[in-house]
Structure 1
């Protein structure tokens, strides 16, 4: 029995919790989603001691140093981090070479055209109120305050009175953390099981190439570069280092959170140094000080997200060139001192990558955190151990083990790169491109319909100009005017079907009237003529409700409010970032299909701007670049960018303008107008308009959500098939 207890005591419960969690998720699938709150509760429990622990560790660790010691330690820590940054960034840029060829594009999102908030780097790093920094989770500001306080105490003769108290507090916090860690396998199991049971293939389909990049790079950094450098340069063995890091690594992998394992990292380093008889008071202090500092400064784990920036540049058809690498690297190092969610939008902007790419990063951040966080843990271990032995003057390469690991590193890098390139090449061939997605969208609920490519002669006599709901029902036909190739409001999909936001609503309107529907094409300048001559009953297709048209036709209540924007080549979007930049151009050619009054006003006020009206939007994308930009709604612009991924959308800052769109009827057809307005109000309250917007504009539901596979479901299906066959 004692042997059983000893075996249970020595088991790595973190590892077993991780393995059992994955197995449980694969077996039971979505049935274990209820475990997620339990895992999140344990994460919150671990966070209780973290901020106090950082304060105590830094103040006590620095306060106990002599002035000469602290200068030496911080200087060598800086050299260590710089060396690891150089080596790690070189590996990151090597992995960018493994990207295959492809095309790009994305659906509209309101966040894509929202102006980025100004980043207050002073607030981020200068703690005017350290207590507020702690309450807001501003780790950089809190660390800087603690470093300043610790340095200030070094020369204070009475510092021991405070340091002794803080040291006791730190010991209490360590005991608390250890007690929580004993039960943390429950949290690891819960989070891993819920993630493995609920994550679906649709979450991986669009960004699987980026995921492969991050996984291959992360594995190279975690299991090759960082631990092998430590093993090559210090007395710490590779196998021992993996064992020491194991619990912190597993916790960071399961939770996607490095912050909660900082005490585990510190205590693990101190315990291992004591085990190999390399521990002393100075090394313990260095560990206590450097762990939170290494977490705050850009880590190689955090810098792996730079792969997303290079991926986004490749995704938009403008991969980062060799001459851009030095500038991108410098910008990355400066911006990554802030939060990743500040750094990535800044990097995207600096590289002229459309801001919509950031939404892709957010959609994958939960998955990539499973790689980024463990890599950060290994990096913190590496920085701290290298710095400790650097201070002890025990770093050297004059060993067979050093040559072995450095040789192995040089072999493993191309091996991981080949693996990444081969996998991504295969995925690129099987990935559905963005233009395929929008070109295969369909109207779900259709009524019998006819789509014409001209106005029938029978309609051209003008006898049908006066129409009402009773006449429409009597003839059993609703005639809808549509604009050709007005993506995403009315366009033809790959099957030749007329689809789009307004086309879907037209089918719904005809269904409620219990009549068939007929679609008749028109051009924007023909709107008033065709309506008032009775060629069709209602005009749709994302029509701008223009003041100039009010005297000729009647508009319904607004259906949507669209954001005016410019579409231009991706590499030129920066030229149109603000109103002042647009107006400062000595010569500018702007194309448009709608917005005639607005364009005339712009041309009259700004002589350097030439306005060119096009028959349709496609003419802009297929022209020989006679126009610098196209004036269009952001919603439509993003849809067009999916067909033409070399183009992007920008809303110039200082020139933000929204406008309503709606349906139009002939000036005399008041009965139809009244019906439409009431019908629209009903559809708004029922959520029909919002659902259509979510599908056609935002792209929600364009990929069918599949039921999460599980072993239990597979067994049930097989058993059912067997019973039926019997």
Structure 2
């Protein structure tokens, strides 16, 4: 397995993305390993518990609980020590519909109480299945006829063990396939996106796997450090390669039993303890799972809500309780109680594949350490009065500050090299442009009113399409780092001008000036994420909708919790909201709720210059997330019960029906051919905002033809 891992890494580095075809092979081997796991848990727990007598069970479980609590306390202390090594950093994220979707209700009862154990097995609901097996196993302890059933189940367990060993024998093929495809396709962007977090996780993982847990076992039990590493290696490598602990549970159990026989410490009782405690240790929160607490702290600190020392006990207790569920349930819950915007969870998902390479092998080492300690505490063979005990306890204590210093030094260096959060959106450009002229004022020649009547023939004759834009209306119209006018609507304006075969000129306006500027002919069409509303409809003509946006609130991160629910929001003593659009909606809200005060602002930038004057800014979620990339201390929330969407489109003067008809037909074409969707994906969702580069490989570096290389190898 180790050679398969090493060869897979080298193959990925040599051949790069050419090995992506190996990924399904690796996935197939993982599925093959999983076929015995759930039956193995059922059999091992029922048989293991059923063979005990009542006194043994009470003693074993009590001591196991003591060992588990001790490891949790020590592990959490170590994790918090490493959290203190985080450097300064800022972050932001593009809009995603998932970020404003209502959170699904979590059914903890279904997760833990097996109303139908067969359904739990079919759905892979391990906690509920383990609870059922523990209940059945303990119920059999005092049953006089239990041996009839236990003998049958034991034979089944032996058969499952044989299957697992046969699969393990060929599993290096799967490890090579997974490692080679991962090493060949993983991009530098994936490694660098959250490099500071990755460094902390790596330092914590290495310390837990190679220092704390194995040295605790070596210091307190007859198991030697080197022997423990050797007995763990197959399960550890498999978990590292696959990111999956579940599939190696039989390997862990058999490894523990084999090693006890090798050092002549094995008996029937120790084998039963291993069979019972391995699945229990997997079900309960492990130190591997708890390392993801680093992300929660990282996300809080990243958004300016760094966890204080006084919060550590509360956060630790909440983490322990929530990690009894799935990690993907626990992390959003912890982010919520820390008042961290939910969008940061997307950062965790982007790193989950890499993080699993640490979390899974750490969990494997934790299970080995926990079970060995439980076995020897029941055998009354735990002791500290040895030179070896003092040596390992001193060494693990000395290595903790050394690893912390390494993490702190690396993080501070990487923190200085990390790009600021706004660089992605600030460097976005329009790929297909026509000759353009961007003005910062309305030319006097346009102010006479002679150009108020505009149609397609006039635009083509003058060879110029004049487009009105709102200044700093991210992501619809704004200036990028190169001082170029860009954005969703600006991109569409270039496309419209290209289809008309004319140049384009951009003229600024403020929202209250829309009707006046259009009807006086200062520009032909306004395109800047404009809300289609009843009030403006009386003075201008809107096109068919271009997009449908989600209304939301933007506020400082620590204030977002106040606005998560509409009913709670309206009970506030005073609520002052800023807005640039949405006047009809907000006017009605203010009339219905006298405590709500609404203030119109000329441009969105003015809100960020004086945010303390308002409680929140009413804005679209799509625009709000884009602004949060420039101002990471702000976040976006859609209040529960106030899920409101509205259309945006282009605007033309009332009399310019010919132009309106052309624009509507043009929009229909753009929607049909997918151009609107592609533009939305780029400017709103940020897809492709960072250009993906071809994965580096040695063959590309040396410009070697793979067919030529194969011929040389054959020769």
**If the TM-score is normalised by the length of the shorter chain, which range does it land in?**
over 0.9
Query: Could you say which residue in structure 2 is the equivalent of 1:586?
Result: 573
Query: Could you say which residue in structure 2 is the equivalent of 1:562?
Result: 549
Query: Could you say which residue in structure 2 is the equivalent of 1:499?
Result: 486
What CA distance in whole angstroms lies between the structure 1 residues aligned with 2:523 and 2:607?
28
**Counterparts of 1:471-482 in structure 2 under 5 Å?**
471-482=458-469
Equivalent pair of 1:104/1:317 in contact (CA under 8 Å): no
2:92 is the counterpart of 1:105: yes
**Counterparts of 1:124-273 in structure 2 under 5 Å?**
124-273=111-260
Which secondary structure does the structure 1 equivalent of 2:689 belong to? coil
Query: Could you say which residue in structure 1 is the equivalent of 2:560?
Result: 573
Which secondary structure does the structure 2 equivalent of 1:94 belong to? helix
Query: Could you say which residue in structure 2 is the equivalent of 1:372?
Result: 359
Deviations 1:461-496 (A, max 9, x none): 111111111110000000000001100100111211
Query: Could you say which residue in structure 1 is the equivalent of 2:316?
Result: 329
Which secondary structure does the structure 1 equivalent of 2:663 belong to? helix
Query: Could you say which residue in structure 2 is the equivalent of 1:409?
Result: 396
**Counterparts of 1:299-448 in structure 2 under 5 Å?**
299-448=286-435
Query: Could you say which residue in structure 2 is the equivalent of 1:289?
Result: 276
Equivalent pair of 2:90/2:302 in contact (CA under 8 Å): yes
1:717 shift after superposition:
7.0
What CA distance in whole angstroms lies between the structure 2 residues aligned with 1:283 and 1:718?
57
Equivalent pair of 2:274/2:371 in contact (CA under 8 Å): yes
What CA distance in whole angstroms lies between the structure 2 residues aligned with 1:447 and 1:496?
17
What CA distance in whole angstroms lies between the structure 2 residues aligned with 1:609 and 1:703?
41
What CA distance in whole angstroms lies between the structure 2 residues aligned with 1:206 and 1:502?
28
Equivalent pair of 1:556/1:663 in contact (CA under 8 Å): yes
What CA distance in whole angstroms lies between the structure 1 residues aligned with 2:578 and 2:65?
54
Give the count of matched residue pairs.
706
Query: Could you say which residue in structure 1 is the equivalent of 2:633?
Result: 646
Which secondary structure does the structure 2 equivalent of 1:426 belong to? helix
Which secondary structure does the structure 1 equivalent of 2:639 belong to? coil
1:675 shift after superposition:
1.0
Deviations 1:248-278 (A, max 9, x none): 0000000000000000000000000000000
Which secondary structure does the structure 2 equivalent of 1:52 belong to? helix
Unaligned runs of 5+ in 2: 707-715
Which secondary structure does the structure 2 equivalent of 1:566 belong to? strand
What CA distance in whole angstroms lies between the structure 1 residues aligned with 2:11 and 2:427?
37
Deviations 1:412-438 (A, max 9, x none): 111111111111111111111111221
What CA distance in whole angstroms lies between the structure 2 residues aligned with 1:205 and 1:667?
52
Query: Could you say which residue in structure 2 is the equivalent of 1:536?
Result: 523
Equivalent pair of 1:209/1:428 in contact (CA under 8 Å): yes
1:515 shift after superposition:
0.3
Which secondary structure does the structure 2 equivalent of 1:540 belong to? strand
Give the alignment's TM-score, normalised by structure 2.
0.98
Deviations 1:3-51 (A, max 9, x none): xxxxxxxxxxx11100111111111111111111001000000000000
1:104 shift after superposition:
2.0
What CA distance in whole angstroms lies between the structure 2 residues aligned with 1:679 and 1:624?
40
Which secondary structure does the structure 1 equivalent of 2:561 belong to? helix
Query: Could you say which residue in structure 1 is the equivalent of 2:712?
Result: none
Give the alignment's TM-score, normalised by structure 1.
0.96
Query: Could you say which residue in structure 1 is the equivalent of 2:443?
Result: 456
Query: Could you say which residue in structure 2 is the equivalent of 1:11?
Result: none
What CA distance in whole angstroms lies between the structure 1 residues aligned with 2:692 and 2:181?
18
2:602 is the counterpart of 1:619: no
Alignment match of 2:660 (pick from 648, 673, 689) = 673
What CA distance in whole angstroms lies between the structure 1 residues aligned with 2:570 and 2:107?
28
Alignment match of 2:682 (pick from 695, 711, 717) = 695
2:107 is the counterpart of 1:120: yes
Query: Could you say which residue in structure 2 is the equivalent of 1:659?
Result: 646
1:718 shift after superposition:
12
What CA distance in whole angstroms lies between the structure 1 residues aligned with 2:263 and 2:483?
73
Which secondary structure does the structure 2 equivalent of 1:434 belong to? coil
1:547 shift after superposition:
1.2
What CA distance in whole angstroms lies between the structure 2 residues aligned with 1:422 and 1:351?
27
Query: Could you say which residue in structure 2 is the equivalent of 1:3?
Result: none
Query: Could you say which residue in structure 2 is the equivalent of 1:49?
Result: 36
Equivalent pair of 2:94/2:684 in contact (CA under 8 Å): yes
Equivalent pair of 2:699/2:705 in contact (CA under 8 Å): no
What CA distance in whole angstroms lies between the structure 2 residues aligned with 1:631 and 1:76?
56
1:205 shift after superposition:
2.2
**Counterparts of 1:8-23 in structure 2 under 5 Å?**
14-23=1-10
Which secondary structure does the structure 2 equivalent of 1:478 belong to? strand
What CA distance in whole angstroms lies between the structure 1 residues aligned with 2:137 and 2:705?
65
Which secondary structure does the structure 2 equivalent of 1:356 belong to? helix
Equivalent pair of 1:61/1:289 in contact (CA under 8 Å): yes
What CA distance in whole angstroms lies between the structure 1 residues aligned with 2:629 and 2:652?
32
Q: CA RMSD in A?
A: 1.0
Which secondary structure does the structure 1 equivalent of 2:522 belong to? coil
2:45 is the counterpart of 1:58: yes
What CA distance in whole angstroms lies between the structure 2 residues aligned with 1:464 and 1:648?
43
What CA distance in whole angstroms lies between the structure 2 residues aligned with 1:204 and 1:641?
23
